[in-house]
């Protein structure tokens, strides 16, 4: 389709806006895009996206924790409403499409639906969820607030790598952390939510399919392993007298990989993305070593078996090395099965557009995983070149982005009828 009802035909609007948003970056020198939630750069991104929402005729507002809503009022005000969207914050030195496609693509879908004369019966809300990336150690903080998962005390508990709490970051950005509970919504008011996202893996590209229709979303069980030994002089302490916490932690890192590879489901993944060694001087044997561990699966039972094995092996490593081990829970999320009705709407949109599609699982988590505990959700994927994501080389071609928006528009048209 090349007429005005086709997303992206607003003179390459979608691609131009993705590029414009990518300019809002706190660390261009290091490569990729760094735009963490509640920073001034993120605030400018919210202003820019708000403008684009208004250009699409959406009524724009922010909730108490910075979730950005753009509403298209439906003709039936008593009907439950439809949500779509994703996030515009990034992880560190990341790509231009993760999350951004789901927000700007939803705005483009609204343009396309208006251009073809569609008027929704159900109100449609386009959302840019605040803090999908784990600046504060846990992801999806904005959507967690909306489902009532985070208390005021949690906002003091969640802290970033510089020791800034979520509460302090919220205040700094002009919000009042004491109002966190006002962001909670009534899930029974939501008819469905659908999120457009890049796949962040290589399945679609490998099979040459332009669209993924997600049937389940894997969820993380994240925890911290803190090994404690003895900080001693690196030169004067004989090897036989050491209790080196980092060497024990290093063995545990290998144990994480071994346990994930051996999982009964065959789909568990295990990662140690953060390592801290204290005191962190070259001439001191590390007395403390902390590992942040991320274990995920769409099969919760298999995931928990892997976590149990990791903890058991870590305890044995600590025992053998005369170290102590503390295990600190970070987050335990529940894998989500997507709503058959939302999946059917996306499948019907693909079939009407004559796009090939693949039913698949999302290995990455998304705000749809959080909302999916309480409302019917679905996701639409477009390919990631080489499966690369959370990296400067993250890329999806313009025509692939546009196909994703076509399917999103078709899905929303069905859900909002
Ligand atoms: O880590 C994730 O799965 C998401 O991309 N933040
Ligand atoms: Mn991400
Ligand atoms: Mn994302």
From the alpha carbon of 99, which atom of ligand 1 is closest? Answer: 5
Most informative mutation of 273, 366, 384 for ligand 1 (most atoms within 8 A of CB): 366
327 in Cβ contact with 256 (< 8 Å): no
pLDDT at 127: 98
- Quote helix, strand, coil % in the chain, to nearest 5: 40, 25, 40
Pocket of ligand 1 (CB under 6 A): 132-133, 139, 364-365
Residues recorded for the chain: 417
Buried b (16+ CB within 10 A) or exposed e, 313-331: bbbebbeebebebeeeebb
Contact 130, 65 (CB under 8 A): yes
Quote the pTM value: 0.90
C-alpha dist (Å) from residue 215 to 335, 342, 346: 11, 10, 11
Give the ligand with the smallest distance to the CA of 134.
Answer: 1
Q: What spacing in Å lies between the alpha carbon of 366 and ligand 3's midpoint?
A: 6
User: Which residue of 138, 140, 200, 216 sits with most ligand 1 atoms within 8 Å of its CB, as the best mutation to test the pocket?
Assistant: 200
Alpha carbon nearest to ligand 1 atom 5, residue: 364
Give me the pLDDT at residue 10, please.
62
Instruction: Pick the residue whose CA is nearest to atom 3 on ligand 1.
Output: 364
pLDDT recorded at residue 3: 41
Segments of the chain with pLDDT less than 70:
1-11
- All domains of the chain in start order, with CATH: 13-218+335-415 (3.40.630.10), 220-332 (3.30.70.360)
């Amino acid at each position: 389709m090349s007429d005005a009802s086709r997303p992206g035909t607003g003179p390459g609007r979608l691609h131009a806006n993705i590029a414009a948003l990518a300019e809002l970056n706190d660390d261009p020198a290091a490569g990729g895009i760094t735009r963490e939630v509640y920073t001034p750069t993120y605030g400018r991104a919210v202003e820019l996206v708000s403008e684009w929402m208004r250009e699409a005729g959406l009524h724009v507002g922010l909730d108490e924790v910075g979730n950005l809503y753009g509403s298209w009022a439906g003709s039936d005000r008593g009907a439950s409403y439809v949500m779509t969207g994703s996030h515009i914050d990034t992880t560190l030195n990341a790509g231009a499409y993760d999350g951004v496609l789901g927000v700007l693509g939803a705005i483009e879908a609204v343009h396309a639906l208006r251009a073809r004369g569609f008027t929704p019966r159900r109100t449609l809300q386009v959302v840019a969820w605040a803090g999908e990336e784990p600046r504060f150690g846990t992801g999806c903080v904005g959507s967690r607030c909306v489902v009532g998962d985070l208390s005021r005390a949690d906002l003091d508990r969640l802290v970033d790598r510089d020791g800034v709490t979520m509460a302090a970051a919220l205040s700094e950005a002009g919000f009042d952390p004491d109002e966190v509970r006002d962001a909670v919504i009534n899930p029974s008011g939501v008819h469905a939510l659908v999120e457009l996202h890049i796949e962040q893996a290589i399945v679609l590209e490998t099979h040459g399919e332009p669209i993924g229709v997600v049937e389940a979303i894997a969820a993380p069980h994240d925890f911290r392993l803190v090994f404690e030994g003895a900080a001693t002089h690196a030169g004067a302490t004989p090897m036989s007298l050491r209790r080196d916490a980092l060497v024990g932690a290093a063995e545990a890192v290998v144990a994480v990989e071994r346990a994930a590879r051996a999982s009964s489901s065959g789909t568990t993944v295990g990662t140690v993305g953060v390592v801290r060694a204290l005191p962190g001087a070259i001439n001191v044997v590390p007395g403390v070593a902390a590992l942040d561990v991320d274990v995920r699966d769409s099969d919760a039972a298999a995931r928990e078996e892997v976590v149990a094995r990791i903890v058991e092996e870590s305890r044995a490593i600590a025992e053998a090395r005369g170290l102590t081990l503390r295990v600190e829970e970070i987050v335990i999320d529940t894998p989500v099965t997507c709503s058959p009705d939302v999946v059917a709407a996306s499948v019907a949109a693909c079939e009407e557009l004559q796009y090939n599609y693949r039913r698949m699982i999302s290995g990455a988590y998304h705000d749809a995983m959080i909302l999916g505990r309480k409302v019917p959700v679905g996701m639409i994927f477009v390919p990631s070149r080489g499966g690369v994501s959370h990296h400067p080389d993250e890329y999806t071609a313009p025509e692939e982005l546009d196909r994703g928006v076509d399917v999103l528009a078709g899905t929303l048209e069905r859900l909002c009828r």
